[in-house]
Amino acid sequence: MVGVILAAGQGKRLRPLTARQPKPMVGVAGQPFLAHLIERFRYADVREIVLVVGYYAWRIWQYFNTGARWDVSLHYVYQLKLNGTAPATLLAEHYTGNEPFMLTWGDVVTHPEHYRKIRMRFDELNCDMLMAVNLVEDISKGASVCFTEDGRVVSVVEKPPLESAPSQWNQAGLFVAKPVLFQYLRNVPLSPRGEYEFTSAVSAMIEEGCDVRAYCIGADTWEIGTTGSLQRAERALIHMRTTFDSTMS
């Protein structure tokens, strides 16, 4: 299975930390945040990884190069126009071929076991997409996911108003999907926020009867969008390094 990490983000809210490097290169728990994601993909036996890069892309190449140090093989594709997660994901199609692939945003991380378990669960279900979902207090900053008792996703709403959000379950930025996803990514319309959003492709899949399922990970995620969330991610990743990471090598 090939992995895809969207790592082109600028991280404007993290400046000056991101003044001369992309957001996934910000140091967290002793190494670039992106290194934690690569380690988790490797733990899930995803050893061929496509990095979608853009802003200060050379910083990522300079540090990770071919990926040999992490016992993975890295490929780089360039998102020249930072216009959304849908076109960013679509850039990796050449490398994924006709096989399912694992996808994550480059600024969010969860416990290492979830990467392995979501892959195993996807194989069991043989669905079109399995998306990780986590519980959040403020769903207005994420994407609200509604699903049935057996995990079948019935709707995904991007950045809903907090008072009318259909669910507190958030699209957590980790997926395993079949290549059918790409045909929906190609037809994503421009959102009111001025981007081509991945969520729109997922919604279209659901509307046309694709089997999209939820994989629940509770509140067990950390992101680095702001200085406050960066500090929380730092504490969590340091703790995980002392309690779990020795088994990941």
Question: What is residue 225's predicted lDDT score, i.e. its pLDDT?
Answer: 82
List pLDDT tens digits, range 110-139.
999 999 999 999 999 999 999 999 998 888
Question: What is residue 242's predicted lDDT score, i.e. its pLDDT?
Answer: 67
DSSP structure class, residue 153: E
DSSP structure class, residue 241: H
Question: What is residue 108's predicted lDDT score, i.e. its pLDDT?
Answer: 92
Rank 18-27, 164-173, 203-212 by mean pLDDT and report only the highest.
203-212
Paired sense of beta strands 27-28 and 31-32, if any: antiparallel
Question: What is residue 13's predicted lDDT score, i.e. its pLDDT?
Answer: 84
DSSP per-residue string spanning 70-92: GT-EEEEEE-SS---HHHHHHTT
Query: Do the beta carbons of residue 231 and residue 14 sit within 8 Å?
Result: no
Q: Say yes or no to pLDDT of 240 above 90.
A: no
Query: Do the beta carbons of residue 202 and residue 196 sit within 8 Å?
Result: no
Give the 3-state secondary structure of 20-48. Answer: CCCHHHCEECCEEHHHHHHHHHHHCCCCE
Q: How far apart are CA 234 and CA 157, in angstroms?
A: 29
Q: How far apart are CA 225 and CA 174, in angstroms?
A: 16
List pLDDT tens digits, range 208-238.
999 999 999 987 789 888 888 888 988 988 8
Which residue range forms the structural domain that includes residue 30? 2-247
Q: Say yes or no to pLDDT of 175 above 90.
A: yes
List pLDDT tens digits, range 19-28.
898 999 998 9
List pLDDT tens digits, range 47-101.
999 999 999 999 999 999 999 999 999 999 999 988 889 999 999 999 998 999 9
- Number of domains forming the structure of the chain: 1
CATH number at 34 reads 3.90.550.10
Question: What is residue 249's predicted lDDT score, i.e. its pLDDT?
Answer: 55
